[in-house]
């Protein structure tokens, strides 16, 4: 008997308010409906380092971006080693609401040092497919319910530029997230079907 076939890792990226959580949870339900073993996860996590990041996001302002980049990288290593890797090996498809490209775009973009952020994250593998939901900063802020660390249009524009550079390099696949949800979801399904050959 052969071993279990490894699952695929799909991550959703974008600035806050782009619709990542709605889309990734709906995709998770679609996978379940089709009978695929599937696991949904989010970053920052609720593990040790992830909880510290969430504390900073809710209570502590003006934290240096290089410090946050190191925290996110540490949280991601724990997340990958303790959760994602094991699920993939057991044949689960893992759907991540944010993963390594979030650090590259957010901290890398704001620090103007994407390569350093790549380096501190190079111990975890990239996802099989990263889908970037593109939206203008103004529209994203109008959608957001809660305030956070990144509520400045200028900052969000810089982060968006970093994401768009990753699209140009072919690292992530862009979807226009300003369209109606049904259209965005349909396009995401088509991308997954064509790139990963999953029957959805």
Per-residue pLDDT of 32-48, as tens digits, reads: 999 999 999 999 999 99
Element housing 107 (H / E): helix 100-111
| Residue in the structure block whose two tokens are 């992530």 | 172
Choice between 10 and 141, residue whose per-residue pLDDT is larger: 10
**Contact criterion met (CB below 8 Å) for 129 and 13:** no
Q: How much is the pTM?
A: 0.92
Residue 169 φ/ψ, nearest 5 degrees: -80, -5
**Least confident stretch, 53-62, 88-97, 191-200:** 53-62
pLDDT of residue 145: 56
CATH classification (class only), 9-196: alpha beta
Calpha distance 77→92 (Å, rounded): 19
Give domain limits for the chain.
9-196
């Amino acid at each position: 008997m052969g071993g279990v076939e490894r699952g695929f890792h799909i991550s959703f990226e974008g600035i806050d308010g782009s619709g990542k959580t709605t889309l990734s949870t709906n995709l998770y339900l679609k996978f379940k409906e089709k009978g695929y073993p599937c696991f949904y996860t989010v970053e920052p996590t609720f593990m040790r380092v992830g909880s510290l990041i969430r504390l900073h996001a809710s209570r502590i302002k003006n934290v240096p971006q290089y410090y946050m980049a190191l925290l996110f990288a540490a949280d991601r290593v724990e997340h990958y080693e303790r959760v994602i890797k094991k699920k993939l090996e057991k044949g689960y498809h893992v759907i991540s609401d944010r993963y390594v490209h979030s650090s590259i775009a957010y901290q890398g973009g704001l620090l103007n040092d994407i390569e350093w952020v790549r380096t501190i994250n190079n111990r975890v593998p990239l996802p099989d497919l990263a889908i970037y939901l593109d939206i203008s900063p103004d529209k994203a802020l109008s959608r957001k319910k809660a305030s956070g660390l990144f509520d400045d249009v200028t900052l969000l524009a810089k982060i968006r530029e970093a994401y768009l550079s990753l699209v140009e390099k072919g690292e992530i696949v862009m979807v226009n997230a300003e369209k109606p949800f049904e259209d965005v979801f349909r396009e995401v399904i088509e991308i997954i079907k064509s790139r990963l050959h999953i029957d959805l």
